[in-house]
Amino acid sequence: MEYFVQQLINGITLGSIYGLIAIGYTMVYGIIGMINFAHGDIFMVGAFIALITFLVLVAIGITAVPLALLIVLIVAMALTALYGWTVERIAYRPLRHSFRLAPLISAIGISIVLQNYVQVAQGARVKPLPPLIHGGYTLFEGNDFAVRLSNIQVIVVVTTLFLMVGFSFLVARTRLGRNMRACEQDLKMAALLGIDVDRTISLTFVIGAALAAVAGLMFLLYYGVVDFFIGFLAGVKAFTAAVLGGIGSLPGAMLGGLLIGLIETFWSAYFSIEYKDVAAFSVLVVVMIFLPTGILGRPEIEKV
């Protein structure tokens, strides 16, 4: 029982990270119907930027953890958003009127470019970061197993909740959110009604990248090591999460993220840990075959 509760806590934490990345996937798919393969690698770039900013802050003498975290958060979000914007301008916007699969292939290319760029620029070895946030609470004990809730887990879940609420507010109440929803429903009509479609799409990518940066920072704090390949796996799992929850739906992305996090944690706890990625991929295949619109998604009518 205690083991189960501990895995539940771990799963929710991991799921929050996946959920943040999944929001990026789902937003971009909703607005231009394209799966942004490079989003996982944007997450990886965000994690690296956070790592380097931490080290720079330590080198220039800012060691107070809350202040450092705040500065790193702002810098990582800003610079990763810049990466997201650049990728969209270079690789996706010129192909907007091309055949359907062209942006997808371009996204695969950008994914490879980003991975190799970080691999060459920073080296292929894993980069460790000493743990910054210590401590936690022991919730309860029993059967020689103490269920622990660490501070970093609390921070991850609280930050994710906060960002989710803020983001839902953005989409539901602000003008930008209204533009995004309009573009999602009918791109041409939105353009005819005077919405700056290019800017809206760029801002969608930018916000998605900023959220991925937060996820990268959380990943860095939680696991303590980053390398250039974490983007690929996290990206596919987050995409699975987005599809599971219903692609195009924001609460679906978060729900899917939590589910995938829980599935992965429980699989590695109760079955075998080597095949945990296989479990995630298999879930993707099963969902695609039997439930392509996901749990909270809208059925897609393909018009001639």
Residues that bind another protein (CB under 8 A): 34-35, 45, 48-49, 51-53, 55-56, 59, 78-79, 82-83, 86, 100-101, 104-105, 108, 117-118, 121-123, 125, 127-130, 236, 239, 243, 274-275, 277-278, 281-282, 284-285, 288-289, 292, 302, 304
Smallest gap, in angstroms, from Cβ of residue 261 to another protein? 18
Smallest gap, in angstroms, from Cβ of residue 99 to another protein? 9
Q: Tell me the DSSP string of 151-200.
A: HHHHHHHHHHHHHHHHHHHHHHHSHHHHHHHHHHH-HHHHHHTT--HHHH
Residue 217 and residue 78 in contact, taking contact as beta carbons nearer than 8 Å: no
Smallest gap, in angstroms, from Cβ of residue 100 to another protein? 6
Outline where 33-64 has alpha helix (H). Answer: 39-60
| Amino acid (1-letter code) at residue 279 | A
Smallest gap, in angstroms, from Cβ of residue 258 to another protein? 20
- The smaller minimum CB distance to another protein, of residues 4 and 275, is found at 275
- The smaller minimum CB distance to another protein, of residues 116 and 174, is found at 116
Smallest gap, in angstroms, from Cβ of residue 130 to another protein? 7
- The smaller minimum CB distance to another protein, of residues 142 and 292, is found at 292
Residue 142: beta bridge partners?
145
Smallest gap, in angstroms, from Cβ of residue 15 to another protein? 19
Helix (H, G, I), strand (E, B) or coil at 215: helix
- The smaller minimum CB distance to another protein, of residues 179 and 227, is found at 227
Token pair listed for 87: 């990728």
Please, how many CA atoms are within 13 Å of residue 203, restricted to the half-sphere of its CB?
16
- The smaller minimum CB distance to another protein, of residues 99 and 188, is found at 99
Q: Give CA angle at 71 (153, 203), nearest 5°.
A: 90
Residue 226: beta bridge partners?
127
- The smaller minimum CB distance to another protein, of residues 167 and 297, is found at 297
- The smaller minimum CB distance to another protein, of residues 130 and 166, is found at 130
Smallest gap, in angstroms, from Cβ of residue 264 to another protein? 13
Residue 218 and residue 156 in contact, taking contact as beta carbons nearer than 8 Å: yes
41: which residues sit within 8 A by CB, 6+ positions away?
110, 111, 114, 115, 231, 232, 235
